[in-house]
Structure 1
């Protein structure tokens, strides 16, 4: 039933997005159409990556989900950079970190915990990811903010470029570690019947749908960016709120849906890999890549966040590490993460 609704929304939303853009419909109306269309397209991306995850395993499946899910946000951010909306891009990166660690993980733990009293996942992966989260957010994001007070804009940008290259190199090394040199070293068996499950689509069909959905999202996202200014003025939303909450939720809709579905099926390894793996990809690959891409545009983007953004991200990382480091979860821990997200959401709305 839900899949039919998303299918109808996709086949209605994509043509409406094209027609509305060509006929210059109201920005507020188009903002709603664009957002709903991206969410509907993201559902197809989620189903395709779920099919691939059954064939390829939880780590590669989670990585694929995070990558194609983050592709949506990357596309939105590139067009926002081109439009000079650096504040929106930095805020959307913050929103992705908060959304994945608190909203996605929180909903996954809560939904899965309601059905199963106790759920477990690979504790070794959790601890490995904890170290990377600490490095990516607390070291690589905080250091530029602190040092930038004593630097010129040019020096800050140079430092951001250097840090970005280091982050991307370490992220690629982390993938090599998990998928090549230490693949299968820390095994963990889940309670589900994933080996008996049949994928919804074949591997070729899944990849084709992923590519087509990503191309459609790219078109819709480019037009979505042009509605931000009008929508912000109409509803009294700041660039910070649009980026942290709206863009982050819409841009990460694919992994939101997939992670919750995996948790409901008691496939916590995949759910955690999507939530935490997506955060690591945002912090260690997408954000640095956007810094480098911004060098091609008139407005450059240093890797310097505002103090509220930094404090929110550091808090989310520490809370996630404390909750997930034992390799087990339940509905109350999920509710704790959701409560933290709501508190931060109120703060960013009123800021």
Structure 2
């Protein structure tokens, strides 16, 4: 009884907290969570400071989200774990997009959607190959699962390309809006049936490949779920501060609107998923990394984007379409093609990650140097 009290008493909690801090030094940045909330109350017009503080606050929250999700996925399998991580991680993108949608900033919404798809398929997937390959030389993953996610991305790219193609054929805005609404319903239906296919009727095709490293002393299921809920709420709160400051801060820092939405918002929004994917790759669980990266990208394309189109009829100043500018469509198509090629062999090595990261760097450099008027 005394052992239990020592374990769960104040001193035991402090010891546990110190152990977690030693294992993950990024958790020390949690001090910025109350700092950014108090700063937003005291100085709401300090946009550059709020932008920096919100980024610093999201990083440790992402680490906690990663830690809790890994504990859950260890008990549910990589397929369910990847879906869980992608869903929780995409809450940040959804909150950011909802705030921008309500403000009528449709360019930021579309740039963040396109950027999230490209970031997940190139930066997150490439980073996982690189970090995992540097430690384990050669890793294997379930290429059936990867091909399935790449197929969903191909469908989404086609759906996002059609409204842009129709608009260039001098069709009316009403027709493009009606088409976008119909495509949104189709994409959501396809995504729901895809979840049924991968998690229910054909789940044996998505089993993990290879052996993962053993980790001891992980959190229990109940503890992990509580932490997931609490951290997700804080991420949503900090994301609202981020949205309110990102545009003004970006202008002062010399970043174009396209670069902000496509790169900055996408990277910050995917911080939780990246932490989990990179950690899983280092632990020789490349299946989980690929599932998080491609699963998150397909979820944004087939679920988040269509939901935003439907919600724009309710909370937006006017309905939003799925019409993207040609450069965004081209980058999403090339990212989808790269994901299909990278996942085709079922094996990952560090140089494969370098290639994916190089393509992402080319996109980022182009958007950073793009004149504001052209973005």
Fold match by TM threshold 0.5: yes
Alignment equivalent of 1:8, drawn from 28, 43, 64: 28
Query: Which structure 2 segments of 5+ residues have no match?
Result: 1-20, 371-375
Q: Give the corresponding residue for 1:201.
A: 219
Shift in alpha-carbon separation, 1:237–1:61, aligned structure 2, 3 A: same
Q: Give the corresponding residue for 1:253.
A: 271
8 Å contact kept, 2:163–2:322? yes
Report which of the two structures shows the higher radius of gyration computed on alpha carbons: 2
1:283 equivalenced with 2:301 (yes/no): yes
Q: Give the corresponding residue for 2:327.
A: 308
Q: CA deviation at 1:186?
A: 5.3
What CA distance in whole angstroms lies between the structure 2 residues aligned with 1:58 and 1:199? 19
Question: Deviations 1:16-65 (Å, cap 9, x if unpaired)?
Answer: 12211111152101110011111221111111111000000000000000
8 Å contact kept, 1:55–1:199? no
1:1-351 matches, cutoff 5 A: 4-10=24-30, 12-24=31-43, 26-137=46-157, 139-149=158-168, 150-185=170-205, 187-193=207-213, 197-198=215-216, 200-296=218-314, 297-351=316-370
Q: CA deviation at 1:315?
A: 0.7
8 Å contact kept, 2:120–2:293? yes
8 Å contact kept, 2:29–2:59? no
Shift in alpha-carbon separation, 1:198–1:148, aligned structure 2, 3 A: farther
8 Å contact kept, 2:144–2:205? no
What CA distance in whole angstroms lies between the structure 2 residues aligned with 1:186 and 1:72? 27
8 Å contact kept, 1:86–1:299? no
What CA distance in whole angstroms lies between the structure 2 residues aligned with 1:199 and 1:59? 22
What CA distance in whole angstroms lies between the structure 2 residues aligned with 1:261 and 1:2? 16
Shift in alpha-carbon separation, 1:225–1:326, aligned structure 2, 3 A: same
Number of equivalent positions? 347
8 Å contact kept, 2:145–2:205? no
Superposition RMSD in Å: 1.5
Query: Which structure 1 segments of 5+ residues have no match?
Result: none
8 Å contact kept, 2:79–2:207? no
Shift in alpha-carbon separation, 1:29–1:322, aligned structure 2, 3 A: same
